[in-house]
Amino acid sequence: MTVRRLPWWALLLAGCDPHSATPVAAGTAGGDASAGAAVFRRCAACHTISRNGSDTDGPNLYGVVGAPVAERRPRFAYTAALQAFGGRWDRKRLDAWLANPRRVVPGTAMAFAGLPDPKDRADVIAYLAANGP
């Protein structure tokens, strides 16, 4: 039996990372929020996550899960690229964004290279989800 390998773009369309066999959004619903708090320390250089927290180099992320992209913090200067991306920050979009922000939104000002480990991303998403309405 011959196993046919799909091209990288077909894997992305199917919701898979082309560099692994792991679906992009796999496990994001089952992340560990307390482990995500530890991983989020990397994000805390630019982001706050408390209710009524201030924007710093990045917007405050309290309540970001399910929120509109680039619209939550009206006084924050989102890039035109992120505004054009539009939609909502659901778990699948957050997972892709956290894996590699510049691949998802070319032209974003976010300098963070991303979290390559799907477990870290799932944990951060669980932490973000726990910090909101």
Residue 69 lies in a domain: yes
CATH at residue 125: 1.10.760.10
Range of the domain at 70: 26-130
* Alpha-carbon span 99 to 114, nearest angstrom: 5
Residue 21 lies in a domain: no
Residue 53 lies in a domain: yes
**In angstroms, what CA-CA distances link 35 with 39, 45, 69?**
7, 18, 25
Task: Supply the pLDDT for residue 72.
Answer: 82
Residue 113 lies in a domain: yes
Residue 18 lies in a domain: no
Residue 10 lies in a domain: no
Number of domains in the chain: 1
Task: Supply the pLDDT for residue 15.
Answer: 43
Task: Supply the pLDDT for residue 13.
Answer: 36
Residue 79 lies in a domain: yes
Task: Supply the pLDDT for residue 29.
Answer: 59
What's the angle, vertex CA 128, arms to CA 124 and CA 132, rounded to 5? Answer: 170
Residues of the chain with pLDDT under 70: 1-29
Residue 83 lies in a domain: yes
